[in-house]
Structure 1
Amino acid sequence: MARITAGVATSHVPAVGAALDNGKSHEPYWAPLFAGYQWTKDWEETQQPDVVILVYNDHASAFDMNIIPTFAIGCAEEFGIADEGWGPRPVPIVKGHAELAWHIAQSCILDEFDMTILNRLEVDHGLTVPLSLMFGQPGQWPVRVVPIAVNVVTYPPPSGNRCWLLGEAIARAVESFPEDLNVQIWGTGGMSHQLQGPRAGLINKPWDMKFLDDLTRDAEGLRTKPHIEYLREAGSEGIELVMWLIMRGALGRGARELHRHYHVPGSNTAIGHIVLEPAA
């Protein structure tokens, strides 16, 4: 059967992708940020996952105010690269795993999660930047991807607990898939940042570090963290961190930290990254 072997979380800042695409990753400003991902790049080569379930949020590329799904799953064979206003990123087409995606959609819907099914989807930096951070700049991505898009842009976003429960439902779906697959689940977005208003540029390192700690030490507490705390402590875009809880929920009650990286600033954002595995 398929199995979830690890969880990965990372920020997905668009400027990080631009730095890679324009050959700036070794410049003094960017080098410390990218250095923190080298451990994971090496680790991924040893793990060789077949599929990544990649949880991200769309940035007005595939959705707008006319269509706002809370949870959506990409079930296509491949996903094009969105033009976010300066042309599509020069990265490979993202190959899907339609059979697994449809199985997850069916399982989660019958498990009482109302998933929007996407048979055509162009993906933006929210999905492609994490792939670049973990796999570099290959001619084609070494994994197939099942995109899970979450609304954290327009009120109301889902609660942390609802995201955790979706992670549990995804884990049940994967475990019931008959093909032998090595599956990872990634949560993306965050950490603390605010892009507009009088608090633009906000970064709260102590809060971010505690969030990273609590993924293994007090995950139950993260489940019940209210939206207002994300807004107050992590800025208006800090709510993206609820997507990490889908990843964390899929790993079960216990998880072990393998690697952590935290760097500020990455553009105007606190860059966070963690690798977890399910507890034995």
Structure 2
Amino acid sequence: MAEIFAGVATSHVPAIGAALDLGKADEPYWKPVFDGYAPSKTWIADKKPDVVILVYNDHASAFSLEVIPTFALGCAAEFPPADEGWGARPVPVVKGHPKLAWHMAQSLILDEFDMTIVNKMEVDHGLTVPLSLMFGQPDPWPVPVIPLCVNVVQYPPPTGHRCYMLGKAIRKAVASFERPLRVVIFGTGGMSHQLQGPRAGLINRAFDTNFLDKLTADPQSLVRMPHVEYVREAGSEGIEMVMWLIMRGALADDAKEVYRFYHVPASNTAVGHLILENPGR
């Protein structure tokens, strides 16, 4: 049977993608960021997952205020990079895994999660930057990807508890798939940052560090955190971290941290990154 054996949490800062695309990865400002992901590239190359489930949020590329799905599951065979206003990133088209995606959709909906099934969708930096950080700049991407887009832009976003329970349902769905696939789930976004208003540029290292600690050792305490605490402590865009709880819920309760990286700043944002593995994996 298929199994989710590990989870990856990572920021998805758009400027990171631009730095790679424009050949700036070795510049003094950006080199510490990319050096921090070097062990992660080695890890994922060694683990060789068959599929990545990538939890992210769209930034008005595939969806707008006209249609706002809370959870949108990409079931297509491929997902082209989106033009975010300055042209699409020069990265490969993301190949999907329709069989597993449709199986997940059926399982999740029958488990009473109201998923929006998406059969045509462009993907923006929220999805492609994490792929670049973990896989570099290959052509094609070395693994099929199932996008799971979460609304954390227009209030109300889903609660941390809802996200965590969705992760558990995803783990159940994958485990019931009949093919022997090894799956890694990514939770992306964050960490603390605010892009507008009087608090623009906010970074809260203490909050971020505590969140990283608890994501491994005490996720239940994060599940109970209200939206207002994310906004107060981590900035208006810090709410993206509820997506990390989907990843955590998809893992075993006793999953172990195998790698951590944290760096500030990266385009006025705190970059956070964790790799968690289930026991024996």
Q: Secondary structure at the match of 1:183?
A: strand
Number of the residue aligned with 1:127? 127
Matching of residues 32-181 of structure 1 within 5 Å:
32-181=32-181
Q: Secondary structure at the match of 1:269?
A: coil
Cα distance in 1 for partners of 2:47, 2:258 equals 13
Unpaired runs of at least 5, structure 1: none
1:261 and 2:255 are equivalent in the alignment: no
Aligned residues between the structures: 280
Shift of 1:216: 1.6
Shift of 1:279: 3.4
1:4 and 2:22 are equivalent in the alignment: no
Taking structure 1 as the reference length, the TM-score comes to 0.99
Shift of 1:187: 0.1
Cα distance in 1 for partners of 2:125, 2:162 equals 24
Cα distance in 1 for partners of 2:258, 2:233 equals 26
Cα distance in 2 for partners of 1:129, 1:197 equals 25
1:201 and 2:201 are equivalent in the alignment: yes
Cα distance in 1 for partners of 2:216, 2:137 equals 31
Structure with the higher fraction of residues in strand conformation: 1
**TM superposition outliers: structure 1 runs of 4+ over 3 Å:** none
Shift of 1:94: 0.1
What per-residue deviation string (whole Å, max 9, x for no partner) do you get for residues 85-120 of structure 1? 000000000000000000000000000000000000
Cα distance in 2 for partners of 1:185, 1:79 equals 18
What per-residue deviation string (whole Å, max 9, x for no partner) do you get for residues 5-30 of structure 1? 10001000000000000000000000
Q: Which amino acid aligns with 2:87?
A: G
Shift of 1:54: 0.1
Matching of residues 23-38 of structure 1 within 5 Å:
23-38=23-38
Shift of 1:35: 0.6
Number of the residue aligned with 2:14? 14
Q: Secondary structure at the match of 1:171?
A: helix
Q: Which amino acid aligns with 1:146?
A: I
Between the two proteins, what is the percent identity of the paired residues?
69
Shift of 1:252: 2.5
Cα distance in 2 for partners of 1:130, 1:85 equals 20
Number of the residue aligned with 2:234? 234
Q: Secondary structure at the match of 2:80?
A: strand
Cα distance in 2 for partners of 1:151, 1:279 equals 31
What per-residue deviation string (whole Å, max 9, x for no partner) do you get for residues 123-173 of structure 1? 000000000000000011000000000000000000000000000000000
What per-residue deviation string (whole Å, max 9, x for no partner) do you get for residues 166-217 of structure 1? 0000000000000010100000000000000000000000000000000122
What per-residue deviation string (whole Å, max 9, x for no partner) do you get for residues 27-51 of structure 1? 0000001111000001111000010
Q: Secondary structure at the match of 1:81?
A: coil
Cα distance in 2 for partners of 1:75, 1:116 equals 10
Taking structure 2 as the reference length, the TM-score comes to 0.99
